[in-house]
Chain A
């Protein structure tokens, strides 16, 4: 299930399940969105991006969905593995800017 703690919301799933991590962005002028994965003690790692002229983009085991109407972004991870355990951040960039604004992050815990 999903819970909101003092800082990071946490999503706990069983290995093999599909995971959905959600992100609400704030700026209606944002037209480029990125998902990053951050493992403990490391820097964020690029996973997938999407531009505002798309509503869905697929990568390897990951899919990003964009709903501009409600300013919502989601990351779907298929067949989640223990190695997927990390903190996931969404980032939005307004048109004409190359400086992203990061969301608060979601901690994904995958139980074997």
Chain B
């Protein structure tokens, strides 16, 4: 089955640091990748949609300068949390879908990154 790898799985860093999270599709080409944020005991909140080779589309209320997304290849998207602060601490999850023009396909999720800012 389709596998999405997310790295790192867990990171702790000081306030003001920038943190990069990688999302890779291992056995398929992902034309579109998604980044979510999830607070404890809550549902997934879509942050942005990234398409390979173009700028990401951010959801309302998500600061694009704070959460930089790059999708430079069909198998890799990165999310960089710039100048992270304690309120940015959360569980960040990426997902990917394969194929072009196929609407009815599930997204495949990575295992998330637990980000803790001290």
- Do the beta carbons of B107 and A89 come within 8 Å of each other? no
Q: Please tell me which stretch of B11-19, B36-44, B71-79, B82-90 contacts chain A, meaning at least 4 of its Cβ atoms lie within 8 angstroms of it.
A: B36-44
Contacts of B95 in A (CB 8 A): 43-44
- Do the beta carbons of B112 and A93 come within 8 Å of each other? no
- Do the beta carbons of B103 and A105 come within 8 Å of each other? no
Please give the number of chain B residues whose Cβ is less than 8 angstroms from any Cβ of chain A in the complex. Answer: 25
- Do the beta carbons of A43 and B105 come within 8 Å of each other? no
What's the Cα separation between A83 and B107 when bound, in Å?
Answer: 23
What's the Cα separation between A8 and B44 when bound, in Å?
Answer: 12
Known contacts A42-B111, A43-B111; decide if A103 and B43 are in contact (CB<8 Å): yes
| A16 CB–B CB distance under 8 Å | no
What's the Cα separation between A95 and B104 when bound, in Å?
Answer: 9
What is the CB-to-nearest-CB distance from B113 to chain A, in angstroms, rounded to a whole number? 10
Q: Which of B4, B6, B111 has the most CB of A within 10 A?
A: B111
- Do the beta carbons of A43 and B103 come within 8 Å of each other? no
Q: Which residue of A lies closest to B32 (CB)?
A: A98
- Do the beta carbons of B34 and A32 come within 8 Å of each other? no
Where chain A touches its partner, the secondary structure class is: loop
- Do the beta carbons of A93 and B103 come within 8 Å of each other? yes
Known contacts A41-B112, A42-B111, A46-B108; decide if A102 and B103 are in contact (CB<8 Å): no
| A58 CB–B CB distance under 8 Å | no
- A79-112 residues with Cβ-Cβ distance < 8 A to B are 89, 93, 95-100, 102-105, 107
| A56 CB–B CB distance under 8 Å | no
- Do the beta carbons of B34 and A99 come within 8 Å of each other? yes
Contacts of A99 in B (CB 8 A): 34, 46, 49
- Do the beta carbons of B44 and A89 come within 8 Å of each other? yes
Residues of A whose CB lies within 8 Å of any CB of B are 5-8, 31-32, 34, 36, 41-46, 49, 51, 89, 93, 95-100, 102-105, 107
**Which 7 A-B residue pairs are closest in the complex by CB-CB distance?**
A43-B109, A7-B41, A32-B104, A43-B111, A46-B106, A44-B109, A102-B43
